[in-house]
Amino acid sequence: KMLGGDLSRQITRMRSGILNIKAEVEAAIDFSTEDLTFESKEQLIKKTEGLMQSIQEILVKAEATDRLSSGFRIALIGLPNAGKSSLLNAMLGWDRAIVSDEPGTTRDTLHEEFMIDGVIMKLVDTAGIRETEHAIEGEGVRRSQEEIKRSSIVIFIIDGSEMLTPELDLGNARHIIKVVNKIDKLHEAHLNLDSDWIRISCKTKAGLEDLKNAIRNIIFENPLSRDGLLLEERHRYNLNQIHASLKNAISLWKENALDEIVAIEIDRALDYAGSITGKITNEDVLGRIFSLFCVGK
């Protein structure tokens, strides 16, 4: 299967870079007695680190694209009755969750999808997190914690009509948006909340656009996510293997290993690169040695 244009160019550059390093190492082994200037170990390490960096960028870019195409997961987290279900319904525009005044009604996680700027959002309404005696709710709380780990964004929602601001363990969250709900009947304790809290009312729909903008800012904070790369699973696997081999080569150089030993790792990297770009032959390596050193023909 053909690689996309941008990806193809990046992979071709990477292949050429590995071939150059292979040529340097092989030339140092085969022509050590000739009067040639070889790159120092430090220079080769620097070049190899540069290649590893470019592989990492391809992988990060591909991951961002995956998220854009498969959807960003957003978890609604908060105490029972903070208004998570109401917020889910307000964002979707129709009643999906059971909205009740009795805390602890959502015992399971509810999933819904909506779109912002053409990007799918997977909105997950979790059971309210709190210590509980009820086994069934305890399971819901455990699922909420799992959801915090899985989601790209956590919306932490508190009940603005209540006096207390609960402390919840959101330690594993990647991005947190803090929301105070029920501002139509705001308790005076919340009048001076920090500016990083978004004030909303699910009832009057006030502040919902601010919340959407906060989500937008997170989704598109990474410029790569606007300029995506689609990567097949096997290409991803090969790139990870190339990265690992180059890392091993650097470790070997730093341990002053023989060039012949380092060459084994570079060969592995070339093999995996060949799985993406088409096989890299001995002729390719000799050709590169000749072009770099004008020897070998």
The model's pTM is 0.53
pLDDT for res 22? 94
The domain of 261 spans: 5-66+232-293
- How many angstroms separate the CA atoms of 275 and 277, rounded? 6
Q: What is the CATH number of the domain that holds 81?
A: 3.40.50.300
Please check whether residues 266 and 143 belong to one and the same domain. Answer: no
Considering the domain architecture, whether residues 246 and 213 belong to the same structural domain is answered as no
**Measured distance CA(214)–CA(84) in Å, rounded:** 17
Residues 188 and 254 in one domain: no
In the prediction, which pLDDT does 295 show?
A: 67
Q: Residue 165: what pLDDT?
A: 65
Both 152 and 139 in a single domain?
A: yes
The whole-number pLDDT of residue 106 equals 44
Low-confidence ranges of the chain (pLDDT < 70): 1-5, 64, 66-71, 93-111, 127-141, 163-172, 189-191, 221-231, 295-297
Which of 125, 67, 68, 140 is CA-nearest to residue 91? 125
Per-residue pLDDT, 51: 95
Q: What is the pLDDT of residue 1?
A: 42
In this predicted structure, what is the pLDDT of residue 277? 83
Do 208 and 238 belong to one domain? no
Mark whether 118 and 173 lie in a shared domain.
Answer: yes
The helix/strand/coil state of 98 is coil
Strands (E), the chain: 72-78, 110-116, 119-125, 153-159, 176-181, 197-199
Note the pLDDT of residue 61.
78
Question: Which pLDDT tens digit goes with each residue over 155-174?
Answer: 888 888 776 666 666 666 77
pLDDT number for residue 98: 46
Count structural domains, the chain.
2
